[in-house]
């Protein structure tokens, strides 16, 4: 794979090697229109969630996906509806890209019974079996071996499906990653490992946590195919995931992709962001993935400004409807705390 000596903090600029990836494939109109609507839905949903958190209608932890939308939308367009997805706790964007009902996601943020996890998971533990989203996970790195296990199930059952497993840049320092990498390569498990490297593990930059700052090179110890991806480009994400998926389905095993992305907001809503300069954020906004797709759509004549404005208005209505639904939904009753704990419905060791 190509070696790109660039860290995601390099002033928001992609190297020529990274940028060139997105120019090799001519993507159809339908894909561009999906990308625009999908990423815009995630952006507007997350912006509204941030506002509601400030109004204390959403409480607890809340990690927004703003700026990273190309990671989810570009991956989705490269995979099939039967593939499985798992991620960490910055998990609102992925199910929205997969087609989860925004009302159920918003209700979950409110802690309401109509939420995707019946109000029991909240922001960090979204789950939606109907779109094969196996959840957001709050323990750093815990989802990495879980993703490998899910993919092993697909291999064992000969389904031809794979599992794409997302993690943050802080999670690559966890021992579970190395154990999962070793086993995945040994057994040629159909899993795509993705690190969404937004430059900071909470408030600590990548270069302060390890001598290895080119994160995709961690796969070299296991002879695992790996590459860096300019994840501010949805085209580049789609193409990288497509290559990895082709290898997985051919029985060649896992791939490790380093999505070089950026979050415009703090690690969580309580983050004062004192560890980075405002001009760094603004430089990345100049390469905003949604604006890049919008420009491509207009340049290719796939839609007009009026067409895109109509999509924006539709998305605003969807988000507003999700908020109304969440506000009007009931909180779960106390007895819900005893449900969905064990698979066995009449588990005999529960106490009243």
DSSP H helices in 162-288: 175-186, 234-249, 278-285
Q: Does position 5 have pLDDT exceeding 50, yes or no?
A: no
Reported as a single tens digit per residue, the pLDDT across 80-95 is: 999 999 999 999 999 9
Q: What letter would DSSP give residue 169? A: G
Q: Can you read off the two tokens belonging to residue 253?
A: 């095993």
Q: Are 110 and 58 in contact (CB under 8 A)?
A: yes
Angstrom distance (rounded) from CA 110 to CA 58: 5
Of 13-27, 62-76, 117-131, 154-168, the poorest mean pLDDT is in: 13-27
Decide: residue 126, CB within 10 A, 0-12 exposed, 13-18 middle, 19+ buried. buried
Query: Which residue's structure tokens are 């419905």?
Result: 345
What sections of 157-261 are H helices per DSSP? 175-186, 234-249
Q: Residue 3 has what pLDDT?
A: 35
Q: Which two tokens stand for residue 167?
A: 């993690």
pLDDT of residue 33: 98
Please report which confidence band the pLDDT of residue 8 belongs to, taking 50, 70 and 90 as the band edges: very low
Number of Cβ within 10 Å of residue 351's Cβ equals: 4
Domain 28-338 has CATH 3.20.20.220: no
Q: What is the pLDDT of residues 141-173, one digit of tens each?
A: 999 999 999 999 999 999 999 999 999 999 999
DSSP strand E in the chain: where?
Answer: 84-87, 133-136, 163-168, 191-197, 200-201, 204-205, 226-230, 255-260
Query: What are the pLDDT digits (tens) for 329-349?
Result: 999 999 898 888 888 878 777
pLDDT tens sequence across 212-270: 999 999 999 999 999 999 999 999 999 999 999 999 999 999 999 999 998 887 777 87
CB of 91 within 8 A of CB of 124? yes
């Amino acid at each position: 794979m190509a070696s790109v000596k660039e860290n995601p903090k390099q002033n928001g600029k992609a190297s020529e090697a990274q940028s060139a990836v997105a120019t090799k494939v001519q993507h159809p109109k339908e894909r561009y229109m999906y990308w625009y609507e999908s990423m815009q839905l995630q952006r507007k949903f997350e912006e509204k969630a941030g506002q509601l958190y400030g109004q204390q209608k959403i409480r607890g932890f809340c990690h927004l996906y703003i700026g990273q939308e190309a990671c989810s939308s570009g991956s989705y367009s490269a995979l099939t509806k039967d593939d499985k997805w798992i991620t960490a706790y910055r998990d609102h964007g992925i199910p929205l890209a997969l087609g989860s009902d925004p009302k159920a996601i918003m209700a979950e943020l409110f802690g309401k019974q109509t939420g995707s996890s019946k109000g029991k998971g909240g922001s960090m533990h979204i789950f939606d079996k109907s779109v094969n989203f196996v959840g957001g996970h709050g323990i750093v790195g815990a989802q990495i071996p879980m993703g490998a296990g899910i993919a092993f199930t697909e291999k064992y059952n000969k389904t031809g499906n794979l599992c794409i497993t997302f993690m943050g840049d802080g999670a690559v320092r966890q021992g579970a990653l190395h154990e999962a990498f070793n086993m995945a390569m040994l057994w040629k498990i159909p899993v795509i490992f993705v690190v969404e490297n937004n430059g900071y593990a909470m408030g600590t930059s990548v270069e302060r946590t390890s001598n290895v700052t080119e994160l995709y090179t961690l796969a070299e110890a296991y002879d695992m195919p790996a590459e860096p991806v300019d994840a501010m480009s949805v085209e580049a994400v789609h193409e990288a995931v497509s290559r990895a998926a082709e290898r997985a389905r051919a029985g060649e095993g896992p791939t490790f992709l380093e999505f070089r992305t950026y979050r415009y907001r703090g690690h969580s809503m309580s983050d004062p962001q004192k560890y980075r300069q405002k001009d760094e954020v603004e430089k990345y906004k100049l390469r905003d993935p949604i604006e890049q797709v919008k420009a491509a759509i207009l340049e290719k004549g796939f839609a007009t400004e009026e067409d895109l404005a109509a999509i924006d208005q539709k998305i605003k209505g969807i988000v507003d409807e999700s908020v109304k639904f969440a506000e009007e939904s009931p909180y779960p009753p106390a007895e819900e705390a005893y449900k969905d704990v064990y698979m066995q419905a009449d588990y005999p060791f529960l106490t009243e």
